[in-house]
Amino acid sequence: MLLLGIDTSGKTASVAVYDTSKELFLAQTSVYTKMTHSQVILPLCKEMLQKANLTLNDIDEIAVAAGPGSYTGLRIGISAVKAMCFGLSCKCNGVSTLLAMAYSNIAYKGNICAIMSARNDLVYTAVFKSDGYSVECIEEEKIISHSELAEMLAFMGTETLLCGDGSAEFFMKYQSPLLVMAPPHLRLQNASGVCLAATCMESISPSELEARYLQKVKAEKDLENKYKES
């Protein structure tokens, strides 16, 4: 099966094609960009597929990072995947961004903590355990402060690999011999991790695909404040 992976959850726009039967990535491209993902992601897909001598009609399933992450980025990626899946009549998969980063670092045997920057002092995070072949979630996804995360990892008392766009700041703030940074090429979100995580999940129809924000979006907060004031 040929699996197309897409990640637009952060500043990196990333696409990859994975042959699940051969366990081989046929192509992958990541671009750290200041442009909006709506300008980048579809041309990136088209260019990558052309270089791999493939077309969208060759794709059997599409996986996308479904959150947490940038509200706008997630909506762009999910909307693009829904449109492609409806057009191709194929299944899809919405993968946790945090889980996908853990799968990117699956070769590390031990605890993996994915950290994504949220607003102020908050981070999206989850802790996973890898045996080198599979990943298991041992601390569920949540949005917490730096100090709460530091306390949680200290309580675990075991060496932990840090990844994600919030990992470097956290590592510098709470330097500890138990904290290890993922290498730069495996630190940020990428579509390869999305593909690997999707192979361990049941596929869904595009109508079931939704974003998972972990916190209320601005429109929801504004509406709540409006009702409180009235």
Burial of 52 (0-12, 13-18, 19+ CB in 10 A): middle
- pLDDT tens, residue by residue, 193-222: 999 999 999 999 999 999 999 875 443 344
- pLDDT tens, residue by residue, 137-195: 999 999 999 999 999 999 999 999 999 999 999 999 999 999 999 999 999 999 999 99
Q: Helix and strand tally (H, E) in the chain?
A: 8, 10
State how far the alpha carbon of 80 is from the alpha carbons of 153, 155, 195, 223, in Å: 36, 41, 16, 27
Q: What is the pTM of this model?
A: 0.92
pLDDT at 230: 52
Under DSSP, is residue 178 helix (H, G, I), strand (E, B) or coil?
Answer: coil
Averaged pLDDT score across all residues of the chain: 93
Q: Are 73 and 35 in contact (CB under 8 A)?
A: no
Q: Are 77 and 9 in contact (CB under 8 A)?
A: yes
Mean pLDDT of 88-112: 98
Alpha carbon distance 94, 227 (integer Å): 32
- pLDDT tens, residue by residue, 30-67: 999 888 898 999 999 999 999 999 999 999 999 999 99
